[in-house]
Amino acid sequence: MAKFSLEKIIYAKREDVFKIFSNYENYPKLIPQYYSSIRIRSVRDNIAVVEEHLILGDLELLLMAKHVAKPSVLHEVYVIGGKSRGSYIRQEFIEIPEGTKILVNANLKLTGNMRIPKLLDRSKLSKNYSNLMDDFAKICEN
């Protein structure tokens, strides 16, 4: 299990930042280096079940995830299927004078040949996720 927290400041309005971060349908278009494919299985109100192909550095994950959104405030991802089942990522969006602060708390459960430290260590996983967040920030700020 790998737990880590990140904090990012993005110089854009919270509503705009949230729209980009919670629009999982467009991940393959916006950041294909991290998400090679997304397939939506179901959507009901602010909850969606999505098949995702996520690449974080050397780690490649095929997973089924439940996205839960509280518009402009919170985006949570629960991994409900795949080898990382039971993982959880929470993104909280806080309005600040400079733009938006995003607080990320992640608890990634890696099993089998994905276990840490065999494939990569926690700091590298955190760094790779931070890089993903930086690329999202560039999109939001343009």
User: What CATH number is attached to the domain comprising 101?
Assistant: 3.30.530.20
- Of 139, 111, 119, 116, which is closest to residue 34 (Cα–Cα)? 139
pLDDT at residue 36 tops 80: yes
pLDDT at 108: 86
| Predicted confidence band of residue 113 (pLDDT cuts 50, 70, 90) | low
**How many CA atoms are closer than 13 Å to the CA of 126, on its beta-carbon side?**
15
Domain count, the chain: 1
pLDDT at residue 126 tops 90: no
Residue 9 lies in domain: 2-141
Can you tell me the mean pLDDT for 44-53?
Answer: 96
- Of 57, 78, 59, 60, which is closest to residue 69 (Cα–Cα)? 78
pTM of the model: 0.88
pLDDT at 1: 67
Distance CA 106, CA 127 (A): 12
Can you tell me the mean pLDDT for 2-21?
Answer: 95
pLDDT at 117: 47
